[in-house]
Structure 1
Amino acid sequence: MRPPAAAAEIYGERLPIAQRYAEWLAVAGIERGLLGPREVSRLWDRHLLNCVVISELIGRSKLVADVGAGAGLPGIALAIARPDLRLVLIEPMLRRADFLRETVALLGLQSVDVVRSRAEEYRAPEPFDVVTARAVAKIGQLFRWSVPLLRPGGRLLALKGESVRDELRTAADDLRKAGASSWSVESVGRNVVDPATLVAVVTLGR
């Protein structure tokens, strides 16, 4: 499974680790039902690259939680490209959490921890700078789960589809009530891949 040219630009010297992750997803990820068989041909474009460009909005050496981490997208993809980040992958399902632990060990990702928990039940030992999510829940619910995890002024970065603006309009009151100071729709990865769309929601500062 040959990576596209953009992968080398994004992952740099860590591209071999990303390749190993793609190969692992194409076998173990499919066998264990974390991805559908049709996803193999688009693992790079739709998954590894689409997810990793979220890093454009994450500063250096931040503490990041990936909620509903699933197969590790975007959490594992971020950890490979950005070894400066500390990541906690939060996943409630046992088989997925086990898969994540195996993946972290296989890839030698020393700055990544896996926690089996629901996001809304997890009590972090220290607040996160950023919470990421992909295909987990509507933005209002997702932000309510994220607020207890985030430091004041921290951000939720949620990868979303084209209907995100309609979803935001519906969720505006819920976001305010939950403690959002602002939110925006961002497009990332324009210079390297098909742009990914995400919502950035900022918590109230103190």
Structure 2
Amino acid sequence: MLASLRQPLSDRLHQGCARLGAPVANLSEAQRNALLDYVDLLAHWNSRFNLTAVRDPLDMIGHHLLDSLAAVDAFVASPVLDLGTGAGLPGIPLAIARPELQFVLLDSIGKKTRFVRQAAASLELANVTVIQARFESYQPAEKFATITARALAPLAALWSGSAHLRQPGAALLAYKGRRPDDEIATLRPPAGATGEGPSVTRVSVTRLEVPFVPGERHLIRID
């Protein structure tokens, strides 16, 4: 990364972390440097492989790093599976912020998993494993306590499609833009309906205020 960009990126990250509050505001200098190094790698690879539509590294601070970290306090149970991780989002920022948790980052597209492997290796993230596979056909040796996805698929499809990946009592944490009330309604069958639907016991919605990102952001937790 050009030296002229490092300080503006650092300043924006510092401001954003402070606005998000604890625990993000309490990230160490080493963790913040790792987040900036990740943006450096992403911007470099993105110029050749088109990994993300966000091109400006300054915009990546909000749209990628802070957006991922806005829900970090919801991640408490490990291992965590990031479905359709793409360029490593939200998995890489979460793994940096939560080194005590184990993360598996899954995507079916080779150029994306190659980048994520390189990023995890460069950042020395010992708590990250990268897998290239479709989540519908992925058969892990160990099932997951937490599953997350960022703007990947409708909630019902995520919940039913990940059933074979979840431990008993596992939660799905889905990052969404607008509050997806129509999708939430499909998680429970209408009153009086017969037949089995997704075995959802609770759905909770948290509005996320993401610095430097306009528009609505929500985290949907399904148990």
What TM-score comes out, normalization by structure 1 length? 0.87
Going by fraction, where is strand more abundant, 1 or 2?
A: 1
- Render the CA deviation track for 1:26-45: whole Å, top value 9, x for unaligned: 12134211112545331011
Structure 1: runs of 5+ lacking an equivalent: none
Return the letter of the residue paired with 1:200.
R
User: Does residue 198 of structure 1 match 2:214?
Assistant: no
C-alpha deviation, 1:58, in angstroms: 1.4
In structure 1, the partner of 2:87 is 71
Return structure 1 stretches of 4+ with deviation > 6 angstroms: 192-195
State which of 99, 105, 120 in structure 2 corresponds to 1:104: 120
Distance in 1 (CA, whole Å) between partners of 2:199 and 2:118 is 36
Shift of the alpha carbon at 1:148? 1.3
Query: Higher Cα Rg: structure 1 or 2?
Result: 2
Distance (whole Å) between structure 2 residues aligned to residue 136 and residue 189 of structure 1: 20
Q: Distance in 1 between matches of 2:41 and 2:80?
A: 23
Partner SS state of residue 139, structure 2: coil
CA 1:193 to 1:10, structure 2 compared with 1: closer, same or farther past 3 Å? farther
Secondary structure at 1:144's aligned position in 2? Answer: helix
Conserved 8 A contact 1:29-1:71: no
Structure 2: distance between partners of 1:145 and 1:66: 14
Q: Structure 2 residue aligned with 1:181, among 188, 193, 201?
A: 201
Tell me, which stretches of 5 or more residues in structure 2 are unaligned?
19-24, 191-195
Per the alignment, residue 50 of structure 1 pairs with 67
- Cα distance in 2 for residues equivalent to 1:27 and 1:117: 25
Identity of aligned residues (%): 31
Q: CA deviation at 1:125?
A: 1.2
Deviation of the 1:133 alpha carbon? 0.3
Matched residue of 1:97: which SS? helix
Q: Which residue of 2 aligns with 1:24?
A: 41
Compute the displacement of 1:151 (Å).
1.0
Matched AA of 1:56: D
1:155 aligns with 2:171: yes
TM-score of the two chains, using structure 2 as the length reference: 0.81
- The residue aligned with 1:82 is 98
Contact 2:156 2:187 in 1 (8 A): yes
Partners of 2:55 and 2:114 lie apart in 1 by 23
Q: Which residue of 2 aligns with 1:94?
A: 110
Distance verdict in 2 for CA 1:95–1:42, change over 3 Å: same
How many residues are treated as equivalent by the alignment?
Answer: 199
Partner of 2:17: 7
